[in-house]
Amino acid sequence: MLTIHQHGSNNPLGVTGNLDRVPFHPYFTFKDLVTIVFFLLTLSVFVFYYPNVLGHSDNYIPANPMQTPPSIVPEWYLLPYYAILRSIPNKLSYKT
């Protein structure tokens, strides 16, 4: 950015005069600041006024520590072990 600010960018048309160049600081700095302010304004609207718009509806289901949600499935190489664990009816009993 410092090099572009000092020397300017290359012109693909081959025009080497400084008459056709646009200065970096007042134009591109302002353009970038407007974009950043617009992004922060949009982000703050979502954060402060509509925080749940981008959330998933499953987040409002109360958690049940004794049941695994159906959407959670282990990787293919862990499926046999997962099936063995699911076959045990009562995981809290220590009786054999």
List active site positions.
Answer: 5, 9, 31-32, 75
For residue 24, with 0-12 CB atoms within 10 Å meaning exposed, 13-18 middle and 19 or more buried, which class applies? middle
SS (H, E, C) 58-95: HHHCCCCCCCCCCCCCCCHHHHHHHHHHHHCCCCCCCC
Tokens of 86: 């699911």
Among 35, 20, 36, 28, smallest CA distance to 4 is for 28
